[in-house]
Chains A and B, each alone.
Chain A
Amino acid sequence: MAGAVAALDYDAELMLRVKDGDGASFGVLLEKHRSSVVHFLYRMVQNPAVAEELAQEVFLRVYRSRATYEPTAKFTTWLFRIATHLALNALRDNKYERLQDRLDDDSSDIPVRQVSDGRPSVEQRMVYAAKLDEVRRAIAALPEKQRAAVLMHKYEEMEYSQIAKVLNCSESAVKSLLFRAYEALRARLAHMA
């Protein structure tokens, strides 16, 4: 069993230690995956506070499930399945306000990229903010499943097979989702090129 788990992935082994009562291993998993889960959820719901709230729920569910955990898949597949499920539910329930409602008047969470002299000019900041707004709106306009697929593919660099497991569909369905999603993004962001 232990050998099979090691072959599967180290995260699954850590989770089995959590199952055995090792709280430190949970800390290691949290440290390792905190940012990717929060960032994925942020790009899904496009609200930093809501993303963190959902991410807390993700890790809470991981902790609650420790007693019944079985390493049947990669740990990150399981983790992102929980995250995606929560994000899709939150969006469908319209429980949280969407990007269009919130971000128009709140740009404080936009990280400003520094140009070579270290201080971006006002004009550069405005151009960057406008481009960023276009990207966020283009992503937000995608159907939820396409959005999840693009975010996992583009930002989390997941393979088709893993995305398929997270979204509980076939690999060919994922390729089709991504093709349609990127087609929409190309059309919408073409003027930025």
Chain B
Amino acid sequence: MRCPIENGEGEVLLDSVRSASLEDHIRGCAACGEFVAAQMATDGSLELWDAPPVSIDFDRRLYSRIAKEVPWWESLVRPFRPVFARRLVPITAAAGLLIAAGLWLDRPGSMPPPPASAEVQPLPPDQAEHALQDMETIQEFSRLIHADAAEPRL
């Protein structure tokens, strides 16, 4: 294996997971062995540096800043948001259906237009006379039927 340091590829020695061939090389190469030992010592020194704990009021301060950014109307609406979210879909669907039905019924050509005005056609005299005769015949026929029904049957 080529020496990473000699080839200007020393960064591969920083990897915590190394290939078996690289490990073999490090064991046999003084320069690489020295590099790795020095890096381990540096890692150990860096581990001395613990960060201080986070302040206990960190979250309170953050939420206070967030609350200042939320508009007042959103604060009012927020408690009802789950109810709106749950009921909004069926209400919107029902309203949509009603509007669609209204538009469909209201569309032009869906119903036959009413006649402009009711017109009465005058009857010719011969037709009127014929109609009167028909009515008299019907009345005569009706009388005969009634008379027949009144006589006792044998």
Chain A residues proximal to chain B, CB less than 8 Å: 21, 30, 34-35, 38-39, 42-43, 48, 52, 55-56, 59-60, 63-64, 109-111, 113, 128, 131-132, 134-136, 139, 154-155, 175-176, 178-179, 182, 185-186, 189-190, 192-193
Taking a contact as CB atoms under 8 Å apart, the answer to whether B55 and A52 are in contact is yes
A-B contact count (CB 8 A): 88
Of B38-46, B96-104, B120-128, B135-143, the one contacting chain A is B38-46
Taking a contact as CB atoms under 8 Å apart, the answer to whether A48 and B52 are in contact is yes
Further contacts, 10 of them, CB under 8 A, given A192-B41, A192-B45: A60-B62, A111-B51, A113-B48, A128-B48, A131-B48, A135-B45, A175-B14, A185-B42, A190-B41, A193-B38
* A-B pairs with beta carbons under 8 Å apart, 9 shown: A55-B54, A60-B66, A63-B66, A131-B48, A178-B14, A179-B10, A179-B11, A186-B39, A189-B46
* Among all A-B residue pairs, the 6 with the closest Cβ atoms: A39-B51, A193-B41, A175-B11, A179-B11, A109-B52, A111-B50
Taking a contact as CB atoms under 8 Å apart, the answer to whether A176 and B52 are in contact is no
Q: Which residue, of B44, B45, B48, B53, has the highest number of chain A Cβ atoms within 10 A?
A: B45
Q: Which residue, of B46, B50, B58, has the highest number of chain A Cβ atoms within 10 A?
A: B46
Of chain B, the residue at the smallest CB distance from A134 is B45
Contacts of A34 in B (CB 8 A): 54, 58-59
Taking a contact as CB atoms under 8 Å apart, the answer to whether B49 and A132 are in contact is yes
Contacts of A113 in B (CB 8 A): 48, 50
Instruction: Please report which residues of chain B, range 46-105, place their CB below 8 angstroms from some CB of chain A when the two chains form the complex.
Output: 46, 48-55, 58-59, 61-62, 65-66, 69, 81
Contacts of B14 in A (CB 8 A): 175, 178-179, 182
| B interface bracket (residues with beta carbon within 8 Å of A) | 20 to 34
Of chain B, the residue at the smallest CB distance from A150 is B46
Contacts of B61 in A (CB 8 A): 56
Contacts of B11 in A (CB 8 A): 175-176, 178-179
Of chain B, the residue at the smallest CB distance from A59 is B62
B37 smallest CB distance to A (angstroms):
8
Contacts of A35 in B (CB 8 A): 51, 54
Give the CA-CA distance A193 to B45 in the complex, in Å.
8
B143 smallest CB distance to A (angstroms):
88
Q: Given B42, B48, B54, B66, which contacts A182 in the complex, CB threshold below 8 Å?
A: B42
Give the CA-CA distance A43 to B49 in the complex, in Å.
9
Give the CA-CA distance A34 to B45 in the complex, in Å.
25
Taking a contact as CB atoms under 8 Å apart, the answer to whether B54 and A21 are in contact is no
Contacts known (A55-B58, A175-B11); A42 close to B52, Cβ less than 8 A:
yes
Taking a contact as CB atoms under 8 Å apart, the answer to whether A56 and B65 are in contact is yes
Q: Which residue, of A154, A189, A190, has the highest number of chain B Cβ atoms within 10 A?
A: A189
Taking a contact as CB atoms under 8 Å apart, the answer to whether A38 and B58 are in contact is yes
Taking a contact as CB atoms under 8 Å apart, the answer to whether B58 and A52 are in contact is yes
Give the CA-CA distance A30 to B69 in the complex, in Å.
18
Contacts of B52 in A (CB 8 A): 42, 48, 109-111
Of chain B, the residue at the smallest CB distance from A37 is B54
